[in-house]
Amino acid sequence: MSRTALITGITGQDGSYLAEFLVAKGYRVHGVVRRTSVHSTGRIDHLLRERDGAIPPVETHIGDLTDPFAVHRIVQRVRPDEIYNLAAQSHVGVSFEAPLPTASVTALGALHVLEAVRATDWPIRLYQAGSSEMFGTVRETPQSETTPFAPRSPYAVAKVFAHHMTVHYRDAYGIHASNGILFNHESPRRGEQFVTRKVTKGVAEIVAGRRSTLTLGNLTARRDWGYAPEYVEAMWQMLQQPVADDFVIATGETHAVEEWVATAFSLVGLDWRGFVVTDERLRRPTEVDSLRGDARKAEAAFGWRPRTGFHGLVKLMVAADLRRVGVDPSQFPELAS
Ligand code: NAP
Ligand code: G4F
């Protein structure tokens, strides 16, 4: 009997990779999609089409995480074995300008999912998308499952709420609910407002002659960047554990934003200093200066390890954005291999 999974946030970067991963494993996959005035399913359209007359592998349900009735109704209709709660207002910078909408979906949305699971009369395994942003002004390096949280943004505060609620529902009601504390993970499907993709898209557009500068904020912040398809595998692995628990997923390496920028430009033979301008308005009121994760617990429990390093990640994202603007990456020696 094939298993059924429900993914909130299925239209996002992680949701699309997770849907592909679960379909390949033979799951029936359902996704919550909110009504938008423009097309929002671009990352999963290939999973919504009929294949050889067979029904599409993914079915969507209109719903908003801020609406507890919708969440409850969809869970009752789908009767999933596993739920992956990935829906969030996930942009840290935006959360300073929109704290209430961020709290509504990122914090209360998670509670709505927990309540919907609590109301079922069948067992469900739940994944809650936690974030390394919760470590904020880091109390130790590297950060692990035992590092205290010290959030520095409305987004991070909302994620801390969701984390503790997930632990609470696990303890109080015996729900198999796990928090993944994932460090930054990127891909060619990354939203264009996040710094990695903003840079690789900017480099491609400069090469294609569509623009001459790229405007960025704080270049000194450091992040632990991994490759998103590998991180969604860890989400699934967490739910296959006999006992629910919380796990950090990270590469263990940290790099400055400036290193990402310099690497992306150098791959196409350019010196970033001739193209990048900084704008104070892109700085955040409070910043998370440096993140580096320790994923040894996940490795010990289910053998998870990152496979793509920093340089390989920048490379694959620059190459993908060059192809998008019609430039063949193989003309650049560093991208040819
Ligand atoms: P993303 O690309 O921004 O996707 C967010 C998803 O949430 C989208 O599908 C979005 O739908 C949906 N969503 C937003 N508000 C909603 C609402 N009110 N109701 C229903 N759906 C809503 O984020 P991601 O990078 O895939 O990240 C997935 C999850 O992991 C998020 O919870 C994020 O906070 C967390 N996380 C991400 C990282 C990372 O580095 N990527 C690291 C740690 C944790 P639309 O398409 O309609 O906007
Ligand atoms: O790419 P970012 O916006 O990612 P950030 O803030 O680390 O958040 C991402 O990772 C979290 C995991 O730690 C997730 F939970 C969250 O949902 C999201 O996926 O910014 C990275 C760094 C920051 O220090 C930011 O100040 O890049 C700096 N930065 C510099 N210039 C910029 C820019 N960030 C953005 N978005 N845009 C800039 O122009």
Give pLDDT tens digits for 256-284. Answer: 999 999 999 999 999 999 999 999 999 99
Q: How confident is the model at residue 53 (pLDDT cuts 50, 70, 90)?
A: confident
* Structure confidence at residue 103 (pLDDT): 98
CA quadruple 70, 76, 79, 84: dihedral positive or negative? positive
CA quadruple 228, 50, 57, 23: dihedral positive or negative? negative
Q: Measuring CA to CA, how many Å separate 280 from each of 49, 98, 118, 218, 318?
A: 45, 19, 46, 8, 26
**Side chain identity, residue 71:** V
Shortest-distance atom of ligand 2 to CA 278: 31
Tell me how far the alpha carbon of residue 88 lies from the centroid of ligand 1, in angstroms: 4
Supply the residues annotated as catalytic. Answer: 131, 133, 155
174: left (phi over 0), alpha (psi -120 to 50) or beta: left
CATH superfamily of 195-222+254-291+309-336: UDP-galactose 4-epimerase, domain 1 (3.90.25.10)
Cα dihedral 220→226→229→230 (10° resolution): -160
Q: Whose CA is nearest to atom 2 of ligand 1?
A: 12
Tell me how far the alpha carbon of residue 194 lies from the centroid of ligand 2, in angstroms: 6
Structure tokens that stand for 59 in this block: 């079915």
Q: How confident is the model at residue 140 (pLDDT cuts 50, 70, 90)?
A: very high
In the three-class reduction of DSSP (H, G, I as helix; E, B as strand; rest coil), residue 237 is classed as helix
| Average pLDDT of every residue of the chain | 98
Q: What is the pTM of this model?
A: 0.98
Q: Whose CA is nearest to atom 26 of ligand 2?
A: 218
Q: Which of 184, 197, 275 to mutate to test the pocket of ligand 2 (most atoms within 8 A of CB)?
A: 184
Strands 255-256, 222-223: pairing kind: antiparallel
209: left (phi over 0), alpha (psi -120 to 50) or beta: left
- In whole angstroms, give the CA distance from residue 93 to residue 153: 8
Structure tokens that stand for 126 in this block: 């739940």
Name every residue whose Cβ is closer than 8 Å to that of residue 99 and which is 6 or more positions away in sequence: 154
Number of H helices, E strands in the chain: 12, 13
| Ligand 1 near 89 CB (within 6 A) | yes
Decide if 210 contacts 278 (C-beta within 8 A). no
Asked if the domains at 4-186+225-249 and 195-222+254-291+309-336 fall in one CATH topology, the answer is no
| Ligand 1 near 60 CB (within 6 A) | no
Q: How confident is the model at residue 207 (pLDDT cuts 50, 70, 90)?
A: very high
Tell me how far the alpha carbon of residue 10 lies from the centroid of ligand 1, in angstroms: 8
- 314, 190, 302, 313: which is closest to 244 by C-alpha? 302
Q: What is the pLDDT averaged over residues 178-195?
A: 99
Q: What confidence tens digit (pLDDT) does each residue in 288-329 have? A: 999 999 999 999 999 999 999 999 999 999 999 999 999 999
**Side chain identity, residue 73:** R
Q: What is the pLDDT averaged over residues 52-57?
A: 87
- 153, 115, 147, 117: which is closest to 133 by C-alpha? 153
Structure tokens that stand for 22 in this block: 């679960």
Q: What is the pLDDT averaged over residues 124-145?
A: 98
Cβ–Cβ contacts within 10 Å for residue 313, how many?
Answer: 24
Tell me how far the alpha carbon of residue 302 lies from the centroid of ligand 1, in angstroms: 25
CATH number of 4-186+225-249: 3.40.50.720
Q: Which of 71, 86, 257 to mutate to test the pocket of ligand 1 (most atoms within 8 A of CB)?
A: 86
Q: What is the pLDDT averaged over residues 46-73?
A: 94
Decide if 155 contacts 97 (C-beta within 8 A). no
Answer yes or no: is pLDDT of 52 > 90.
no
What residue segments make up the domains of the chain, in order of their start? 4-186+225-249, 195-222+254-291+309-336
Answer yes or no: is pLDDT of 337 > 90.
no
